[in-house]
Amino acid sequence: MVKNICCIGAGYVGGPTMTVMAYKCPEIKITVVDLNQKRIEAWNSDNEHMIPVFEPGLAEIVMKVRGRNLFFSTNVETAIDQADMIFMSVNTPTKEYGKGKGMAADLKYIELCARQIGAVSKNDKIVVEKSTLPVRTAEAIHSILDNTGSGVKFQILSNPEFLAEGTAINDLLNPDRVLIGGQDSPEGHAAAEELTAIYAHWIPREKIIHTNVWSSELSKLTANAFLAQRISSINSLSALCEKTEADVTEISRAIGADSRIGNKFLTASVGFGGSCFQKDVLNLVYICKTLGLEEVAEYWDWVIKMNDYQKHRFADNIITTLYNTVSGKKIAFLGWAFKKNTNDTRETPAMYVADILMNDLANISVYDPKVSEQQIFTDIAHVNGKTDEDNQKQLSVVADPYEACRNAHAIAILTEWDMFKNLDWKRIHDSMMKPAFVFDGRNLLDAEKMKELGFYYKGIGK
Ligand code: UDX
Ligand code: UDX
């Protein structure tokens, strides 16, 4: 019976996942550790606005279980030493150097974790891969852990996370399925059963799927690739709709009513963002290339190319519509996060759209209800490589949506925050340069109402 769990990585996955696990398993002590001391201090804050991950419902549960059976700490070694089961939930970004640059997953943090677990452990442990990993990573972890010379035995399980940000708590409490990949051996089965017993505290056993380790690892990449592919497919058609009389929302509704297709993930947008889709598809492409499967690699690569095309198309459309130049014009950005109800900005389309418009010398004024000014400057610097001082000449972040829009030539909606629907759009129209343009990258607003108010309104795929 597992009594003591350690999770390495207190990020968007590790934090919420362990919070829900601690909430549902009061008899298990869970310690979430991270190298980043500031992050751990924030998780330990008594002010719920300081919790580093914004997720609806998360802070309330943290306040209930923290100090009861959930702990956040930077003392990685002690937590590893005391644990029966260790979750690895560190980040696996796309590699930015050397072999596989721009495509392969960078596994240096995973390797570091494995080495640390190997060095510290004095008794047998189950190690669970939570981070998205390329197929056969478990093998690499195995080879590190099997060669520590300490005699300690490790079982490696793959247990990929399927939560989506913004709905993480609900996804964790009511998942469609839990996937556990383990070795086909008595010890492997026993380890998988230990983990199953934990989830069975709140998830019906028939929803817990067991596979071998490789299938589990590949299923995570496949699930994200299929979801991303649906968005790229509908986005490709949004371009066609814009050239014809068809309306992409009507198409989504019509095809989504076919139960074989289903109605989810068919919303055309400025493009998908987030830490997972691009990284995981690129990773799949890289694996296929490495294995000589050129056609398969190329097939999936188009999901990414279509997403890049969509972001460019959106930005180009703004420039073309504003009489072929945005030089010196003020463009208001409503939203910066990659989707609503999160403060996460990784791979957000907003930063790429901003970069294109800034190259055309636009002045951008950003309002987002949850993303900090500092984060927005970090993001844009990541794309264009410029200093904050240089970027400040063209980009400003404001705390009020009306201020962002005042005297703007155009508004671009980049995130589908509910609050944008309820703004006083008449007041905004009155305060803008005329004609007042709105480019709705999320098809969030009521087109007819906006046109009645006098806006030139352009949605996606309309
Ligand atoms: C990460 C991966 O990106 C994703 O592929 C996987 O499915 C789950 O884990 P996320 O939790 O969103 O997702 O990443 P992030 O918010 O960056 O959190 C990772 C944390 O690990 C960071 O707080 C980082 O400081 C910490 N970390 C990283 C360590 O504690 N030790 C390390 O060696 C490396
Ligand atoms: C995704 C997967 O859904 C989740 O299972 C996995 O564990 C991690 O990656 P996440 O990136 O948090 O989750 O959010 P998701 O809701 O999938 O949205 C990803 C991006 O696609 C967002 O930018 C979103 O706005 C966009 N999107 C989503 C669309 O453009 N259209 C859609 O129909 C759905």
Q: Which helix (H) or strand (E) segment is 424 a member of?
A: none
pLDDT digits (tens, 9 = 90+) for 345-366: 999 999 999 999 999 999 999 9
Which residue CA neighbors atom 28 of ligand 2 most closely? 265
**Which atom of ligand 2 is nearest to 274's Cα?**
11
Whether the pLDDT of residue 131 is over 90: the answer is: no
Confidence of residue 201 (pLDDT cuts 50, 70, 90): very high
CB of 12 sitting under 6 A from ligand 2: no
Of 13, 54, 176, 272, the one to substitute when testing ligand 2's pocket (max ligand atoms within 8 A of C-beta) is 272
Q: Is the CB of 35 under 6 A from ligand 1?
A: yes
Distance 164 CA to ligand 2 centre (A): 6
How many Å apart are CA 42 and CA 49, to the nearest integer?
9
- In angstroms, what CA-CA distances link 169 with 18, 163, 172, 175, 188? 11, 8, 5, 10, 29
Q: Is the CB of 8 under 6 A from ligand 1?
A: yes
Mutational test site, ligand 2, from 178, 269, 336, max ligand atoms within 8 Å of CB: 269
Q: How confident is the model at residue 133 (pLDDT cuts 50, 70, 90)?
A: confident
The answer to whether 220 is a known catalytic residue is yes
**pLDDT range class, residue 294, cuts 50, 70, 90:** very high
Give me Rg for the CA atoms of the chain: 23
| Helix locations, 133-276, DSSP H | 137-145, 168-173, 186-199, 213-243, 248-256
- Centre of ligand 1 to C-alpha 209, Å, is 25
Instruction: Report the range of poorest mean pLDDT among 130-144, 229-243, 431-445.
Output: 130-144
Tell me, what's the pLDDT at 314?
A: 98
Ligand approaching nearest to the C-alpha of 338: 2
- What is the 38 CA–ligand 1 centroid distance (Å)? 14
In this prediction, residue 103 has a pLDDT band, given cuts at 50, 70 and 90, of: confident
Pick the residue whose CA is nearest to atom 8 on ligand 1.
131
The number of residues in the chain equals 462
Looking at the chain, the whole-number percentage of residues with pLDDT higher than 90 is 92
Q: Using pLDDT thresholds of 50, 70 and 90, give the confidence band for residue 152.
A: very high
Binding site membership of 415 for ligand 1 (Cβ less than 6 Å): no
What's at 405, amino acid-wise?
C
Spot the catalytic one: 29, 95, 125, 220.
Answer: 220
Cβ atoms 323, 289 nearer than 8 A: no
Protein residue closest via CA to atom 2 of ligand 2 = 164
User: Between the CA of residue 454 and those of 165, 256, 411, 430, 445, what are the distances in Å?
Assistant: 35, 33, 14, 10, 14
Encoding tokens for residue 337? 């996060």
Q: How confident is the model at residue 208 (pLDDT cuts 50, 70, 90)?
A: very high
Which atom of ligand 1 is least distant from the CA of 279?
5
Q: Residue whose CA is closest, atom 25 of ligand 1? A: 36
**Does the structure show a pLDDT above 80 at 134?**
no
Span 127-153, average pLDDT: 85
Quick one: pLDDT at residue 142? 86
pLDDT (mean) for 95-124: 91
* Residue nearest to ligand 1 atom 16, measured at CA: 11
Please tell me the distance from the alpha carbon of residue 55 to that of residue 18, in angstroms, as a whole number. Answer: 14
Residues 385-401 have a mean pLDDT of: 98
Instruction: Indicate whether residue 274 lines ligand 2 (CB < 6 A).
Output: yes
Question: Is 161 labeled as catalytic in the residue annotation?
Answer: yes
> Considering only CA atoms, which of 50, 233, 14 is closest in space to residue 132?
14
- Average pLDDT on 54-61 reads 96
Check residue 54 and give its pLDDT.
92
Identify the burial level of 88 via C-beta atoms within 10 angstroms of its C-beta, where 0-12 means exposed, 13-18 middle and 19 or more buried: buried
Closest residue by CA, ligand 2 atom 17: 164
What ligand 1 atom has the least distance to the C-alpha of 275?
A: 3
pLDDT at position 104: 83
How far does the centroid of ligand 2 lie from the alpha carbon of residue 409, in Å?
Answer: 30
Closest by CA position to 285, among listed 276, 275, 295: 295
Q: How far is the CA of 262 from the centre of ligand 2 (A)?
A: 16
Dump pLDDT digits (tens) for 241-292: 999 999 999 999 999 999 999 999 999 999 999 999 999 999 999 999 999 9
Q: For the whole model, what pTM was predicted?
A: 0.94
Ligand 2 atom nearest to CA at 165: 12
3-class DSSP state of 7: strand
Active-site residue flag, 276: yes
Q: Which residue has the tokens 């087109």?
A: 447
Ligand 2 site, residue 232, Cβ cutoff 6 A: no
Parallel, antiparallel, or unpaired for β 437-440 and 363-367?
A: unpaired
**Between 146 and 19, where is the model more confident?**
19
CA distance 26 to 203: 15
CA distance 375 to 354: 14
pLDDT band at 138 (very low <50, low <70, confident <90, very high): confident
Closest-approaching ligand to the CA atom of 274? 2
Ligand 1 centroid to residue 131 C-alpha, Å: 8
Closest ligand 2 atom to Cα of 347: 23
Alpha-carbon span 203 to 349, nearest angstrom: 35
